Amino acid sequence: MSKTNKKLEELRAEVDRLDDELLKVLEKRIAIVKDIAAAKEDDGTAIAFRPGREAAVIRRRLAAHSSDLPDAVVARIWREIISAVCRMQKPMSVSITAPEKSVGYWDLARNHFGSATPMTLHKSPTVVLREVSADPTVLGVMPWKNIERDTWWEHLAQGGEDVPKILAALPFTQNGTGRFEDLNALVIGQASPEPSGEDVTLFVVVTEGEVSRARLNEYMEKAGLPGHCLDSRSPAVEEGDSLHLFEVPDFLHNDDTRLKAFNEILGDNLIKTVILGAYAVAIDS
């Protein structure tokens, strides 16, 4: 046997040893997850999806790794693990809205939620909204490419305990080799948004009559709120309420003093403010 072949055999044997070690470490991780699931069995939540924590975990892994593997590959490995252990703790499925370019939206969801997560595809966002509203174990993937044409967020503006919230944005890890046909989506579900450390909040203000977007942006600045008004919807009837969608590069709570100040500036024009949810800012790779 040549020295070259012997060296190759030694290297391959080391790779096999490391594979065995990786599997043992993964099995230890799974065992710990089972203990976590048992500890929080009665925590009152229907789903183990933790978008803020998941985003923070992926960011830490990408900041720590120094191999030649692309960030997108490292992130995909951890997304598979995270999604799998979430389903081990509690059932979870994904309902996808794909009015067009179905393959792109399907791939977008599959890349984030893993290869084994049950998924269904629907052309109508109404069907997805209905599924997510009826079953707290279902997450919905909603198109977010043309904001001015999307109407599904108006349903979330109703507010209420059983109305879904925005929880994540896709893609979370930008991949330079595949942009999913430049598609973007938001994930909704009956769970509470949670901060990841770098987030965007979407909220809706309902006003009596119309208020210009320029005026609303002035009010935002005066209240100390970053961001701007993304869209305004006039009522179908001559007299009625108007909906205004806002984006803020921060994680907002209902008791945020800046949001309260904004509401006070609106005064009698304000009917209600509804936080639609929040999502972690995507990672470029």
Task: Map out the domains of the chain as residue ranges.
Answer: 1-39, 48-154+170-189, 199-284
The hierarchical CATH code for the domain 199-284 is 3.30.70.260
pTM (2 d.p.): 0.90
Hey, what long-range contacts does 7-11 have (CB within 8 A, 24 or more apart)?
Answer: none
- What pLDDT is recorded for position 100? 75
Residue 217: is it exposed, middle or buried by C-beta count within 10 angstroms (0-12/13-18/19+)? middle
Q: Give the pairing type, strands 199-208 and 241-248.
A: antiparallel
- Residue 191 has φ and ψ, to the nearest 5°, of -140, 170
- What pLDDT is recorded for position 74? 92
Mean pLDDT, 10 residues at a time, over the chain (285 residues)? 78 94 94 81 78 94 92 92 90 91 85 94 94 96 80 89 93 69 89 94 92 94 96 69 94 95 94 96 81
| H-only helix segments in 137-256 | 153-156, 213-223
**Residue 42, token pair as written in the block:** 């009665």
Report residue 29 CA to chain centroid gap.
24
| 104: amino acid identity, one letter | G
Give the closest residue to 89 by CA, choosing from 50, 54, 131, 38: 38
